[in-house]
Amino acid sequence: MSFQNPVFIPGPTNIPEAIRKACDMPTLDHRSPAFARMFTPAVAGVKRVLKMEAGEIIILPSTGTGGWEAAVSNTLSPGDTVLAARFGMFSHRWIDLCQRHGLNVQIIETPWGQGAPLGAIEAALRADTGHAIKAVLATHNETATGVKSDVAGIRRAMDVAGHPALFMVDGVSSIGSMPFEFTRWGVDIAVAGSQKGFMLPAGLAILGISPKAIAAMEGATLPRAFFDFREMLTAYARGGYPYTPTVGLIAGLARSIEMLEDEGLENVYARHTRLAEGVRRAVAAWGMAPYAATPDLYSDTVTAVRVPEGCNGTDLVTLAASKYGVAFGVGLGEVAGKVFRIGHLGMLTDVMVLAGLATAEMCMADLGWPVRLGRGVAAAQDFYRGSAPAMALAAE
């Protein structure tokens, strides 16, 4: 695998040079004021990225999966019911994690390629007159199928049903790349990871927790130790950690937020929409389609490309890696072989995406797929030429 090529997997994403440098630092005593000086702005920055007014940020040495575990183990008790729709590998894995924690998951089985079914969620909540459901789980961006769900719509369904459950959202592959509104959407726990929109190496689970989630910690009886929010918040109040933090990654996180805010969060989101649209134009020109069922579900961070009958998406991914040193994502679970995935999030430009599309085309030609070289690239080029914002030239 060549380290000169960008990756086109939906995480971990390409790491900007400035972030790599920020992570590379000498040992720092995490009980010293120097750590607090670094940590406090990172926490404040995450709050701004989440658009969070009230609540706390928890940054754990872990990954997104650990964030799922921390969310449920801090707020729920064995036997509690949670409501979740299953429509892809990531929504499935969070459900599986809950079940292994002894939670009773009320699953709304939903075809892969669809998003969270608002009507069925509202109906399930309305039917739960005794309020047995303690939490509603949502996967904002299902990375396996390239489907985004309407998080604000789920909140509305909860409000219309008058249901008091906690609202937990997996934003691992959306936060920092797609609009996210913690407070406005009434989210109680948001889960992110360092290696996707934040453009860092893997190693941090980043969570936002609402005052309601904080209140729920007290009565919750699921075992938790390493991930105990109470100990984290006590230590934070003193500017520190209950154990040794991943100092370099936290320095990188502060730098990541600076980069996102220098570009402007709205511009970051618009760039992701543009890049994604160029990819979708290419996919259409190949005579293929995103796995997401309808355009309103199209993710701006990852496209799962449905491959033609008789073709195997995994062959393309294997060939791209072995022949061209370029990484794409394979289809997972139910869509293994039926799709390959193009990650288009984090540090990416039009020019980088065009390189990825060109590589995918070379692989298709090599594999004898019915695609003419240049078709998809040209469609993306046309779109990018017509929609490019003027580059701000650096003064230096």
Ligand X SMILES: *Cc1c(COP(=O)(O)O)cnc(C)c1O
Closer by beta carbon to ligand X, 185 or else 286: 185
CB of 94 to ligand X, least distance (A): 7
How many whole angstroms separate alpha carbon 373 and alpha carbon 90?
Answer: 33
Of 224, 221, 132, 219, nearest in space to 207 by CA: 224
CB of 141 to ligand X, least distance (A): 6
Report the residue number whose CB is nearest to ligand X. 64
CB of 238 to ligand X, least distance (A): 28
> What one-letter code names the amino acid at 251?
A
CB of 195 to ligand X, least distance (A): 6
SS (H, E, C) the chain: CCCCCCCECCCCCCCCHHHHHHHCCCCCCCCCHHHHHHHHHHHHHHHHHHCCCCCEEEEEECCHHHHHHHHHHHHCCCCCEEEEEECCHHHHHHHHHHHHCCCEEEEEECCECECCCHHHHHHHHHHCCCCCEEEEEEECEECCCCEECCHHHHHHHHHHCCCCCEEEEECCCCECCECCCCCCCCCCEEEEECCCCCCCCCCEEEEEECHHHHHHHHHCCCCCCCCCHHHHHHHHHCCCCCCCCCHHHHHHHHHHHHHHHHHCHHHHHHHHHHHHHHHHHHHHHCCCEECCCCHHHECCCEEEEECCCCCCHHHHHHHHHHHHCCCEEECCHHHCCCEEEEECCCCCCHHHHHHHHHHHHHHHHHCCCCCCCCHHHHHHHHHHHHHCCCCCCCCC
How many other CB atoms are there within 10 angstroms of residue 58's CB atom? 24
CB of 100 to ligand X, least distance (A): 15
CB of 92 to ligand X, least distance (A): 10
Find the helix packing angle between 265-285 and 375-387, rounded to 10°.
Answer: 150
Cβ atoms of residues 250 and 38 within 8 Å: yes
Interstrand relation of 289-290 and 302-306 (parallel, antiparallel or unpaired): antiparallel
Cβ atoms of residues 311 and 328 within 8 Å: no
Structure tokens belonging to residue 19: 């972030």
Binding site for ligand X (CB under 6 A): 11, 63-65, 90, 139, 141, 143, 170, 172-173, 193, 202
CB of 207 to ligand X, least distance (A): 12
